[in-house]
């Protein structure tokens, strides 16, 4: 017996298959539902997972010491990389138990930076008084990276700050404030 038209459409839409017909309607429907759920869940998880939280109040530090002035600049080169900052001490001075300030906001305590030594510090290890860190660069970043433009060493709470030589990347443009 062959069913045509509206009755056939009713049989195909129902979850129970007619007698003698292969049982594929419910299985195919559940497969498509599962694929649809996966297709919707993956972008949602990526959007949430790729948005790194750069703010952690438990890692908050002290504010920048505005009262201390910068006394001099030494030949310690600061080379920002994508997720790290390289410090190259080209002087004959050893620096022990220092705080390194970036952009007059973010600070990281460093045990030692001896003469001729080179160290690398993760950008996310620097924190400000609210627990926020600079935005690192790299392929997976979700925001523009924080440019590192000024770097200073603080030896203690009373001595003046010491400026470092920050090497700017080639893609950073510096505006001249010369009125000429």
> Token pair of 129, please?
């008084």
Any residues with CB less than 8 A from the CB of 5 and at least 6 apart, and which? none
- For residue 60, how many other CB atoms are within 10 A of its CB? 14
DSSP 140-157: T-SSPPPP---EEEE-SS
Per-residue pLDDT tens digits for 13-26? 555 555 555 555 54
Per-residue pLDDT tens digits for 154-174? 999 999 999 999 997 766 666
Specify the pTM.
0.66
Per-residue pLDDT tens digits for 23-65? 555 455 667 777 777 777 777 666 555 555 667 889 999 999 9
Nearest Cα neighbor of 99 from 165, 167, 156 is: 156
């Amino acid at each position: 017996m062959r069913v045509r038209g509206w009755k056939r459409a009713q049989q195909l839409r129902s979850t129970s298959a007619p007698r003698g017909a292969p049982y594929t309607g419910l299985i195919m429907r559940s497969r498509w539902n599962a694929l649809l759920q996966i297709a919707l869940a993956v972008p949602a998880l990526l959007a949430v997972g790729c948005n790194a939280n750069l703010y952690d109040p438990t890692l908050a530090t002290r504010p920048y010491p505005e009262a201390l002035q910068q006394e001099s600049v030494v030949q310690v080169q600061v080379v920002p990389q994508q997720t790290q900052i390289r410090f190259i001490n080209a002087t004959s001075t050893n620096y022990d138990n220092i705080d390194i300030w970036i952009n007059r906001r973010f600070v990281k305590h460093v045990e030692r930076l001896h003469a001729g030594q080179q160290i690398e510090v993760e950008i996310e290890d620097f924190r400000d008084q609210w627990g926020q860190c600079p935005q690192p660069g790299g392929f997976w970043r979700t925001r523009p990276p924080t440019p590192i433009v000024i770097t200073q060493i603080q030896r203690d709470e009373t001595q003046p700050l010491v400026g470092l030589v920050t090497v700017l990347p080639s893609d950073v443009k510096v505006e001249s404030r010369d009125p000429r």
